[in-house]
Amino acid sequence: MMQIDGTITTLHRDAACVAAALSPDNLRSMETVADDGRVITTITGTRLRSVIASVDDYLMNLAVAEDACSLRTENSNR
């Protein structure tokens, strides 16, 4: 059986906020951490279609999390 491992690393002003917003939606095959302005997510699986679907879902969640954390930052700067 094939093992698929991948890591997605993105830069954010408030990486801790983005990682915290993403973590509740993570599947058992995903791990998300914030480190020095980066959000690092590792995705593992044994079926390519499942991994692709997980990455697709993650990227949508990432966009929402980034928007929410950006709004939070903007509102706190007022």
Assessment of whether the complete model's pTM goes beyond 0.85: yes
pLDDT in tens, the chain (78 residues): 899 999 999 999 999 999 999 999 899 999 999 999 999 999 999 999 999 999 999 999 999 999 999 887 666 666
User: Structural domain boundaries of the chain?
Assistant: 4-76
Q: Which residues is 9 bridged to in the sheet?
A: 40
Task: Give the pLDDT score at 71.
Answer: 84
Q: How far apart are CA 13 and CA 64, in angstroms?
A: 15
Backbone φ and ψ for 18, nearest 5 degrees, come out as -65, -45
**Class of the CATH-defined domain 4-76:** alpha beta
